[in-house]
């Protein structure tokens, strides 16, 4: 609804409580409006005592009306009574009712009743960017869930097994079949989990009793939610599959009406640029559905998964990510998911402005596999390796990855790769040292994992190794020499029975 000046009513009727700012004073506008109205009725300069008293009465009434309008939603304003006593429609012109106000003779209690009856919950804001953030949060929040995890403990006085809460985290609804995506480390130690979903409340019921780790006094601790038309409903969840390597887990909730499941809108992490806006929604410190904002601070980062393997192409953001945010979505400025919050760098354990999110393109690939197969099938070389730090400290190997064992019957064994072995005389012979995969230099375990992940099971790759051997110098002294050899090795699948047996 536009004012006669061409400005939106949101820009004129705003108080500090809305956190929106306006450059125009509401009191100044109201005073000017009624002064002009008085001039039109009694002539310019007509300042009788009666008119002054009447104007003061009108100003007092409209000050109360202005206070109510400041907390009303824009969509409520067309329903306010027009000066003729009817209901103003959205098509009411600014000339007929410049600010959509009640007539000055309307009692304050009628003004209150009209606004309270017609006003939804949304607050007026002058900043379009702020309105956009609010709209994104209200659209995405029902897709974000609160996860509580439990372990089992036997009662010392009986044989009963009890569920003991061990932690909480965030997650999001993936599809209408009830799949929930979160971090692996959120459910890593859990025997069971429960998921709190924002529902409309129709035809749903929470499990009873429903434990919650939501901070006392926070929204959600008593079933209330940050969105007025939703109820916090708790369901038992089961684990569908996990991928510790990428820190991703998929849960599933059953018996949830399809209409109550609001899958998150998935975007892409391809083409992200440093400086883009980012928003994170999660449950930090037990405070459910918390929104934080920032920018994409970096791309192409690398963090370690819970099992120590590298997660590459990670997104860095300065949107606050704290304990409890894990598994929550990171959004772009259009409200689409671009990543999943997973880790922070912090000396204190709380947000220091350096948070990391798994790129959504990785999440899509892994989640699809977990839903379909319940596990991730990855290409493997078919060898076991020694930790690079140990190899450097104990054996003085400064470059590459030492092969400890080559699984019998695998393509790696057939190709001729060798592992560490002990001779009949008790001497330990060092195995092959992997220094390159398809020409890509291998310095540490992370390099090897990344190089192999770019292929599929069944692909043949060139593996370059340094093979230690003993050569005799001219003076007859034996010396260990490294000979560079390249093998062609067929990659096997991580669920290959030949590799897994024994």
Q: Residue 94: is the preceding peptide bond cis (ω within 30°)?
A: no
Nearest to 144 by CA among 4, 328, 3, 355: 328
Q: 168 Cβ partners below 8 Å, 6+ apart?
A: 146, 147, 148, 149, 213, 283, 286, 324
Q: What CA–CA distance (Å, rounded) separates 480 from 153?
A: 56
- Give the position of tokens 């975007």: 267
Burial of residue 131 (CB within 10 Å: 0-12, 13-18, 19+) is middle
C-alpha 29: how far from its chain's center? 43
Burial of residue 393 (CB within 10 Å: 0-12, 13-18, 19+) is exposed
Q: Distances from the Cα of 224 to the Cαs of 122, 242, 346, in angstroms?
A: 17, 31, 32
* Length of the chain (residues): 502
Q: What CA–CA distance (Å, rounded) separates 339 from 330?
A: 5
Q: Distances from the Cα of 308 to the Cαs of 167, 303, 500, in angstroms?
A: 21, 9, 21
Torsion of CA 301, 303, 309, 312, to 10 degrees: -20
Confirm if 449 and 440 have CB atoms less than 8 A apart.
no
Strand pairing of 401-406 and 310-317? unpaired
Q: Known catalytic residues? A: 185, 247, 326
Give the CA count within 13 Å in the CB-facing half-sphere of 373. 11
């Amino acid at each position: 609804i536009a004012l006669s000046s061409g400005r939106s009513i949101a820009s004129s009727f705003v108080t500090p409580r809305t956190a929106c700012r306006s450059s125009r004073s509401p009191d100044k506008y109201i005073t000017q409006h009624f002064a002009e109205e008085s001039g039109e009725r009694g002539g310019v300069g007509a300042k009788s005592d009666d008119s002054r008293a009447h104007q003061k009465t009108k100003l007092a009434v409209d000050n109360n009306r202005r206070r109510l309008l400041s907390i009303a939603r824009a969509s409520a304003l067309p329903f306010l009574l027009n000066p003729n006593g009817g209901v103003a429609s959205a098509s009411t012109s600014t000339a007929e009712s410049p600010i959509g106000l009640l007539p000055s003779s309307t009692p304050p209690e009628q003004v209150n009743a009209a606004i309270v009856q017609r006003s939804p919950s949304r607050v007026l804001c002058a900043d379009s960017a702020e309105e956009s953030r609010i709209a994104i949060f209200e659209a995405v929040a029902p897709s974000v869930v609160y996860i509580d995890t439990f372990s089992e403990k036997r009662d010392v006085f009986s044989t009963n097994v009890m569920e003991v809460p061990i932690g909480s985290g965030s997650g999001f609804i993936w599809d209408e079949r009830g799949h929930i995506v979160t971090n692996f480390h959120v459910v890593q130690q859990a025997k069971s989990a429960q998921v709190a979903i924002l529902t409309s409340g129709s035809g749903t019921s929470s499990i009873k009793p429903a434990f919650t780790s939501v901070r006392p006094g926070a929204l959600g601790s008593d079933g209330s939610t940050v969105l007025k038309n939703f109820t916090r409903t708790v369901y038992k969840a089961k684990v569908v599959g996990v991928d510790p390597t990428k820190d991703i887990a998929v849960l599933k909730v059953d018996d949830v009406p399809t209409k109550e499941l609001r899958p998150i809108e998935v975007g892409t992490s391809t083409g992200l640029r440093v400086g883009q806006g980012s928003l994170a929604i999660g449950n930090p410190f037990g405070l459910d559905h918390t929104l934080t904002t920032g920018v994409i601070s970096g791309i192409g980062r690398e963090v370690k998964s819970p099992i120590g393997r590298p997660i590459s192409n990670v997104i860095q953001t300065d949107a606050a990510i704290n304990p409890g945010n894990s598994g929550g979505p990171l959004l772009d400025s259009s409200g689409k998911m671009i990543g999943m919050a997973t880790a922070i760098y912090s000396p204190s354990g709380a947000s220091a402005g350096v948070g990391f999110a798994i790129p959504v393109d990785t999440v899509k690939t892994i989640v699809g596999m977990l839903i379909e197969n319940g596990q991730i099938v990855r290409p493997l070389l078919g060898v076991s390796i020694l930790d690079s730090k140990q190899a450097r400290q104990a054996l003085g190997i400064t470059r590459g990855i030492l092969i400890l064992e080559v699984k019998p019957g695998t393509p790696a064994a057939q190709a001729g790769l060798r592992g560490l072995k002990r001779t009949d005389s008790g001497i330990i012979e060092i195995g092959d040292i992997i220094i390159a995969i398809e020409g890509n230099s291998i310095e540490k375990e992370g390099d090897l994992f990344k190089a192999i992940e770019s292929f599929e099971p069944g692909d043949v790759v060139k593996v370059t190794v340094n093979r230690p051997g003993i050569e005799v110098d001219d003076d007859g002294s034996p010396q260990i020499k490294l000979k560079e050899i390249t093998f062609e090795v067929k990659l096997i699948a991580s669920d290959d029975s030949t590799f897994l047996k024994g």
